[in-house]
Amino acid sequence: MARAALPGRLTWRAATLAESRGETPTARTLVLDVPDWPGHLPGQHVDVRLTAPDGYRAQRSYSIASAWPKEEGGKVELTVQRLDDGEVSPYLTDVLEVGDQIELRGPVGGWFVWRETQPHPVLLIGGGSGVVPLMAMVRARGLSRAKQPFRLIYSVRGPGDLIYREELPRHVRDDPGFDLFLNYTRQAPDGWPNPPKRIDVATINSHGWPPDFTPDVYVCGPTTFVETAADILVALGHDPKRIRTERFGGTS
Amino acid sequence: MMKLDGNAMAGDLREIFAFDVTAAQYTCAGCGHAEAIGALMLWGQEMGRVARCPHCDDVVLSLVHAPDRVFLDLRGAVRLELPLAGS
Amino acid sequence: MAIISRGFGGRRRESVPGLPPGQYLTHDFPVLSAGPTPRIPLDRWSFTVTTETGDKTSWNWREFTALPYEDFNTDIHCVTKWSKLGTTWRGVSLDTLLADVETAADYTMVHSFGGYTTNVPMEDLLDGKAWIAYKFDGEDLEPEHGGPARMLVPHLYFWKSAKWVNGLQMMQEDEPGFWEAAGYHMYGDPWLEQRYQGD
């Protein structure tokens, strides 16, 4: 549950774009100003709703990318991956400008969440923009100097698709007990020791935690990626009840 | 392929209940399996939320949004176990 | 009190005159499903009509596709607000299918592989108003879109055009099918905007 639970039922409210950062040619981080934000837990998401002048509406969910600090200075950030045939994402990545408003409902989600009180090691497996809620967990761990060992397996098509490309190595360097494995599926950088391939048993076996470490596992990304990874984890012997998944829909 | 996890309806449920329900445990009326609401398989897309037990595929919960009201059908859940605030 | 998002237009859809109220024209074919897509091999397929007295008539795939069929063109309207005009289908009219079935029932329940159901009044299936369709746009109907065969009742909202049909049950009284029990309208006339219970 969020630290300060919202009283009563949650409804839609206005959020204003305060800042934005390009992460890749097709992904953008939006920094939103949301009045009276109660804070959020890493892994939670928001529902975003857009209304056209003729009343037409579209709604999608986006994971919160930022961690909420215990002191002042917290921000609500979403990292949006542009889907070419998407209805909402191209608007958020290409059209939305600083000062524009969208409607937001959140923070929501109490299941796909990491809490510092969880004592187990953590395995994060992200495909493409599935890394976003996992990054919130990595950032939260960094802010609180938590000691649970974290391993992140981040699968992307190629170097141009790597979100948080500068910040991830900083966490590896500065946060003891955080390890990162990048899995390229289509195109690897020059000199990369591993040829590109889709995530498989060998990858998760080598770069994940052994099942008898009873890690808390979080898998996020497109639906087929999540199902592949979850099947591999169960086949390797991980307890299905310790695996939390967040499917982003889509077909690949 | 087009399915999502129960966590994706956290916002819809949070509009009805005054706390997060996705971490609650359901017991399936069809097969008796118990797991978190967040682990349900979510179908229905824009028509509504059809949340199926990952164990037996029966519908545990359905939620349909009309403009001015929400229809929530829980008959596929024999029981819900809800953690209270502070836990 | 919605916030209008500057510059948001949504997917390629227009609000054009001639559509039922509240609908927008689409040029793609969105897929919505209440559950996993059933995969039915044709040698396991059957369609069974059960009357209110329990009498059954069945067709297997060979028998069904040997029935007189129609190639036709129709508009479809989804309750989620998209409409698609001029869709082309091949199917067997319910008039053909029910020609030799004796029934006095006023209501029916359409059944599908996978458990989906939807209720349609008998008179909304007859007189050229409904088909069991097995080709779309000249091709075999894909499983995603309801293949091997789906109900087609275009004058009602498209959730009444049940995918993966395997039977029709006559009923003396109207009862809600899957989406109707979940909150959608018992009848579903797009021209009267009968989307939800109580509309």
- Determine the pLDDT at residue C163: 98
Question: Would the CB atoms of A53 and C4 count as touching at under 8 Å?
Answer: yes
Residues of chain C neighbouring A57 (CB-CB closer than 8 A) = 2
| Number of Cβ within a 10 Å radius of residue A174 | 10
Domains, chain C, in order of start with CATH, read 46-68+91-192 (3.90.420.10)
- Determine the pLDDT at residue C11: 65
Confidence band, pLDDT 50/70/90 cuts, at residue A8: low
Question: Would the CB atoms of C34 and B73 count as touching at under 8 Å?
Answer: no
Confidence band, pLDDT 50/70/90 cuts, at residue A9: confident
Q: How far apart are CA A104 and CA A106, in angstroms?
A: 6
A251 reaches B (C-beta below 8 A): yes
- Determine the pLDDT at residue B82: 86
- Determine the pLDDT at residue B19: 84
Confidence band, pLDDT 50/70/90 cuts, at residue C3: confident
- Please report where in the chains the tokens 């804070």 appear, as a residue: A39
Q: Which residue of A has its CA nearest to C13?
A: A56
Is ipTM > 0.85 here?
yes
Whole-number percent of chain A with pLDDT over 70: 96
What's A13-108's CATH class?
mainly beta
- Determine the pLDDT at residue C85: 94
Question: CA angle, A13 as apex, A59 and B69 as ends, to 5°?
Answer: 65
Q: Directed axis angle between helix A167-174 and helix A131-143, to 10°?
A: 40
Question: Would the CB atoms of B64 and C183 count as touching at under 8 Å?
Answer: yes
Residue range(s) defining the domain that contains residue B27:
4-81
Q: How far is CA A97 from CA A74, A159, A176, C7, in A?
A: 21, 27, 38, 10
A55 reaches B (C-beta below 8 A): no
Question: Would the CB atoms of A102 and C15 count as touching at under 8 Å?
Answer: no
CB A162 within 8 A of CB A125: no
- Determine the pLDDT at residue B27: 97
Q: What is the pLDDT of residues B30-72, one digit of tens each?
A: 999 999 999 999 999 999 999 999 999 999 999 999 988 999 9
Which residue from B80, B33, B36, B37 is spatially nearest to B55, judged by alpha carbons?
B33
Average pLDDT, chain B: 92
A245 reaches B (C-beta below 8 A): yes
Those residues of chain C whose CB sits closer than 8 Å to some CB in chain A are: 2-11, 13, 15, 24, 81
Measured between CA atoms, how close is C145 to chain A, in angstroms? Answer: 16
Measured between CA atoms, how close is B71 to chain C, in angstroms? Answer: 6
The tokens of A97 are what? 């400008």
Residue among A112, A224, A248 whose CB faces B38 most closely: A112
Close Cβ partners of A85 (under 8 Å, ≥ 6 residues apart): none
Residue among B5, B22, B23 whose CB faces A245 most closely: B5
Average pLDDT, chain A: 93
- Determine the pLDDT at residue A10: 86
Would you say residue C184 has pLDDT above 80?
Answer: yes
Q: What is the pLDDT of residues A162-190, one digit of tens each?
A: 999 999 999 999 999 999 999 999 999 99
Residue among A5, A111, A248 whose CB faces B38 most closely: A111
Residues of chain A neighbouring B25 (CB-CB closer than 8 A) = none
Confidence band, pLDDT 50/70/90 cuts, at residue C54: very high
B27: number of CA atoms within 13 Å, CB side? 6
User: Where would I find the H helices in C3-154?
Assistant: 61-65, 94-97
B71 reaches A (C-beta below 8 A): no
Q: What is the pLDDT averaged over residues A51-67?
A: 91
- Determine the pLDDT at residue A85: 84
CB A89 within 8 A of CB A131: no
CB C5 within 8 A of CB A91: yes
Measured between CA atoms, how close is B4 to chain C, in angstroms? Answer: 11
- Determine the pLDDT at residue C12: 55
A109 reaches B (C-beta below 8 A): yes
User: Of the given ranges (A53-62, A236-245, C132-141), which has the lowest mean pLDDT?
Assistant: A53-62
Domain spans in chain A, listed from the N-terminal domain onward: 13-108, 122-247
- Determine the pLDDT at residue A208: 97
What's A122-247's CATH class?
alpha beta
Query: In this structure, which amino acid lies at residue C56?
Result: K
Q: What is the pLDDT of residues A186-212, one digit of tens each?
A: 999 999 998 999 999 999 999 999 999
Strands annotated E in chain C: 13-14, 24-26, 46-50, 56-60, 70-77, 82-93, 107-112, 117-121, 131-136, 139-140, 150-152, 165-171
- Domain total of chain B: 1
Question: Would the CB atoms of A51 and C5 count as touching at under 8 Å?
Answer: yes
Q: Which residue of B has its CA nearest to A248?
A: B4
Would you say residue A138 has pLDDT above 90?
Answer: yes
How many CB pairs (< 8 A) connect B and C? Answer: 56
Q: Is the peptide bond before A107 cis (omega within 30 degrees of 0)?
A: yes
Question: Would the CB atoms of C11 and A87 count as touching at under 8 Å?
Answer: yes
Would you say residue C44 has pLDDT above 80?
Answer: yes
Residue among A9, A45, A223 whose CB faces B15 most closely: A9
- Determine the pLDDT at residue A56: 83
Residue among C37, C159, C183 whose CB faces B71 most closely: C183
Measured between CA atoms, how close is A59 to chain C, in angstroms? Answer: 11
Q: What is the DSSP letter of A32?
A: E
Residue among C32, C37, C199 whose CB faces B47 most closely: C32
Residues of chain A neighbouring B55 (CB-CB closer than 8 A) = none
Residue B60 lies in a domain: yes
Q: Which residue of C has its CA nearest to B70?
A: C183
Measured between CA atoms, how close is C4 to chain A, in angstroms? Answer: 5
Chain C segment 74-113 residues within 8 A of B by beta carbon are 79-80
Close Cβ partners of C176 (under 8 Å, ≥ 6 residues apart): C119, C186
Residue B87 lies in a domain: no
Confidence band, pLDDT 50/70/90 cuts, at residue C1: low
User: Of the given ranges (A121-125, A242-246, C25-29, C50-54), which has the lowest mean pLDDT?
Assistant: C25-29
Which residue from A133, A141, A127, A84 is spatially nearest to A106, judged by alpha carbons?
A133
- Determine the pLDDT at residue A26: 96
Measured between CA atoms, how close is C161 to chain B, in angstroms? Answer: 14
Measured between CA atoms, how close is A162 to chain B, in angstroms? Answer: 24
Between residues A128 and C14, the one the model is more confident about: A128
- Chain A: touching chains (3 or more CB pairs < 8 Å): B, C
Q: What is the pLDDT of residues A22-46, one digit of tens each?
A: 999 999 999 999 998 999 999 999 9
- Determine the pLDDT at residue C198: 92
